[in-house]
Amino acid sequence: MSWIRAITIGALGLATLVGPVTAQEADSGFESHLFPPDLVMRHQQAVALTAAQRDQVSQAIQELQADVQQLQWDMSAAAEELTALVSETEVDRSAVLSQVDRVLDIERQIKRAHIAMLVEVKNTLTPEQQGLLQELRSGPAE
């Protein structure tokens, strides 16, 4: 049952992924082209972030939090149901797989909302700011 907890914890944790992307994660693919809000805000003076851009980043975070809050509750309920299904003496395979599909769908929705927020943050930045953030992310201070 630890994988059920891992899915649940991972999905719930993903909902709060407005945090940093580590250098290892950034090197893993498309994430290296996106900028987590905390990176942007931590270096807002270095990249000359305007008040309007700061407001846009804040708005993107608020929208993510609003979108994901209900999904977190749905994930918790779906995981509880999955736990109940697999805790039976005889497990209904099709019911469990159907519930796993529900859990994975919620996880997909959370990930999608997170990526949408990261895209919004990137689109808020000028090409020059993006270049500076790439340098700052890969530099010794990170």
Residue spans of the domains in the chain: they are 2-133
Cβ atoms of 85 and 92 closer than 8 Å: yes
Note the pLDDT of residue 17: 42
pLDDT, tens digit, 9 for 90 and up, residues 37-87: 999 999 999 999 999 999 999 999 999 999 899 999 999 999 999 999 999
pTM confidence score: 0.74
HSE-up of residue 38 (Cα within 13 Å, Cβ side): 8
| Mean pLDDT within 91-120 | 96
* Dist. CA 120–CA 45, nearest whole Å: 20
Ranked by mean pLDDT, the top range of 9-18, 36-45, 130-139 is: 36-45
